[in-house]
Amino acid sequence: MWRRILQLEGSSHSIALGTAIGLFVAMTPTVGLQMIIILIISLVIPANRLAGFIMVYVSNPLTMIPIYWLDYWVGLKCLAQEGLTRSNFEQRWLEAQGKASEVGWYEGTLELLRSIGNDVLGPLFLGGAIVGLLCALPAYPVTLRLVQQYRDHRKQGIPSGSADEESSQ
């Protein structure tokens, strides 16, 4: 994933911005709409869309429940509320996903949100925004530095990862 980001065309600023925005969106409970959100944001902010698309895949079927549980937990803490246990949250989420998969992605997303319930949605979205910001804020300077270093190494003719390759031989 990082190699693809480092090799993207465009300014290092736009790549870093796209990466940060993509990571922010990946941490929000917007499954099914994440690519559209990246497109809309990149129309307003000069961010590299491909970097955003790549980072959205941090949120996938294997990571979705842990990410969304963290979002929910952070949201509950911020709102000083009691909520579902992790196992209850996971069970509710899986049941909702099962119902949502029986229809198209748009209807499925709406059904997923409806079936989870309002008692979960508020903390989930609030926590998603907070977790997204906490991930995206450091992602920008880290990505900016990595892209600049990668490009400097390429200009100097140093293969990427050459120090790692030499030490492993």
Give the pLDDT confidence of 68-91 residue by residue, as tens digits.
Answer: 999 999 999 999 888 878 888 778
The distance of Cα 17 from the centroid of its chain, to the nearest Å, equals 13
Give residue 159's pLDDT. 66
Considering only residues 163 and 36, tell me which one the structure prediction assigns the higher pLDDT.
36
The distance of Cα 49 from the centroid of its chain, to the nearest Å, equals 13
Give residue 26's pLDDT. 96
What average pLDDT is seen over the chain?
Answer: 84
- pTM of the predicted protein model: 0.79
Cα-based distances in Å from 42 to 34, 45, 52, 59: 12, 5, 9, 19
Q: Distance between CA atoms of 156 and 141, rounded to whole angstroms?
A: 22
Helix H or strand E segment including 125: helix 118-155
Considering only residues 101 and 82, tell me which one the structure prediction assigns the higher pLDDT.
82
Give the pLDDT confidence of 104-154 residue by residue, as tens digits.
Answer: 656 666 666 676 777 788 899 999 999 999 999 999 999 999 999 998 888
Q: Distance between CA atoms of 70 and 127, rounded to whole angstroms?
A: 7
Q: 99: pLDDT confidence band, cut at 50, 70 and 90?
A: low
Q: How many CB atoms lie within 10 A of CB 5?
A: 21
